[in-house]
């Protein structure tokens, strides 16, 4: 019985933080044992919000090193750059004919990006990036897409485009379904709802134990809990949110200690930092190997692109045949 195919990806933003790990990477590593995985480095998507392309290559390599260090297996999960598979742009052009401007205007994620990134004007490429995402997914006939709840609208647009193409020209594409990630978003150290390097509120996968400890010391907690003995409210404490993910076995004990005042914030933070560091140690220990063997990293990328190119070419051949173009 053929296993189902997954397409997932990230913009190349350099070294990854624990928000990336919790929201996507950890899940990808587990899914590669049960699905046929393809992982996209979405370098064209970077341009939708930032035209500076000078760091894209270096950021791609740094991100790929984190993927490999976290356990993505290139033999199970081909990894490739969007820009090196020209069929992405071709299918994006075709899909752009199958969706209306009004439909794209209803995309809630676009509005969130405009607000969060303080964007004064929206380019044509940024406005239509869900169409390029649909091309990314459907070019490989992705049947499932691992996403957080905030990304479900994008998957729905991909489903609508697949349905429209199939009805108009004939069956080529599956209608992809979202695979929801339990911890889709981790709050930043400053209390911001989103962890982001641009906000300086992250813990990197490559951070050492002392760096993690130093960063977590500054993390925002309940402002009314000033000293040990003061009762706290863990529901508004981001460190407690981290405990839920990285220290689930002690959550009940920590919650009770916080509410009663028996547990001080300093001790709570140090406990949490040790658990995060413990989880990251296997990833951190693998990173130097790939940093010192960049030719191997490049070869993994090129081999993934060969595999992706074969599938993309076959899909576009079917598309052209159904459309009677070319």
Q: Are 225 and 231 in contact (CB under 8 A)?
A: yes
pLDDT tens by residue, 49-85: 889 999 999 999 999 999 999 999 999 999 999 999 9
- Mind giving me the DSSP string for 166-215? HHHH-S-----EEEE-SS-----TTS-SS--GGGT---BTT--HHHHHHH
Residues of the chain with pLDDT under 70: 1, 116-117, 183-184
Q: Where are the domains of the chain?
A: 5-187+293-323, 207-287
Fold: same for 5-187+293-323 and 207-287: no
Q: Give residue 72's pLDDT.
A: 97
Q: Are 18 and 187 in contact (CB under 8 A)?
A: no
Is the full-model pTM beyond 0.85? yes
5-187+293-323 — its CATH code?
3.40.50.620
pLDDT tens by residue, 202-256: 999 999 999 999 999 988 888 888 888 888 898 888 899 999 999 989 999 999 9
Q: Are 248 and 259 in contact (CB under 8 A)?
A: no
Correct CATH for 207-287 of 3.20.20.70, 3.40.50.970, 1.10.240.10, 3.40.630.30: 1.10.240.10
C-alpha neighbours within 13 Å on the C-beta side of residue 294: 7
- Mind giving me the DSSP string for 118-133? T-SS--HHHHTHHHHH
Q: Is the dihedral of CA 124, 16, 275, 212 positive or negative?
A: negative
């Amino acid at each position: 019985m053929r296993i189902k195919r997954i397409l997932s990806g990230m913009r190349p933003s350099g070294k990854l933080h624990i928000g990336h790990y919790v929201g996507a990477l950890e899940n990808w590593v587990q899914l590669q044992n049960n699905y046929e995985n393809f992982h996209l480095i979405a370098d064209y998507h970077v341009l939708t919000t930032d035209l500076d392309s000078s760091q894209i290559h270096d950021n791609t390599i740094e991100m790929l090193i984190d993927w490999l260090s976290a356990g993505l297996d290139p033999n199970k999960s081909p990894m490739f750059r969007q820009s090196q598979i020209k069929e992405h742009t071709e299918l994006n052009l075709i899909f752009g004919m199958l969706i209306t401007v009004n439909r794209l205007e209803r995309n809630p994620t676009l509005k969130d990006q405009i607000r969060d990134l303080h964007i004064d004007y929206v380019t044509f490429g940024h406005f239509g990036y869900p169409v390029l995402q649909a091309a990314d997914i459907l070019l490989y006939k992705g049947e499932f897409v691992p996403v957080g709840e905030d990304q479900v609208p994008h998957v729905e647009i991909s489903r609508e485009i697949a349905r429209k193409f199939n009805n108009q020209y004939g069956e080529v594409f599956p209608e992809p379904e979202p695979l929801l990630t339990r911890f889709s978003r981790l709050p930043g150290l400053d209390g911001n709802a989103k962890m982001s390097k641009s906000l300086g509120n992250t813990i990197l996968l490559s951070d050492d134990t002392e760096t993690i400890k130093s960063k977590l010391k500054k993390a925002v907690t309940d402002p009314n809990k000033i000293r040990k003995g003061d009762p706290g409210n863990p529901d508004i404490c981001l460190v407690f949110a981290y405990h839920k993910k990285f220290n689930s076995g002690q959550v009940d004990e920590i919650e009770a200690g916080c509410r009663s005042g028996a547990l001080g914030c300093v001790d709570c933070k140090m406990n949490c930092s040790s658990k995060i560091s413990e989880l990251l140690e296997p990833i951190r220990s693998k990173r130097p190997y790939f940093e010192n063997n960049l030719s191997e990293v490049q070869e993994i990328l090129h081999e993934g692109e060969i595999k992706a190119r074969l599938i993309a070419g076959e899909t576009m051949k079917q598309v052209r045949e159904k459309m009677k173009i070319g």
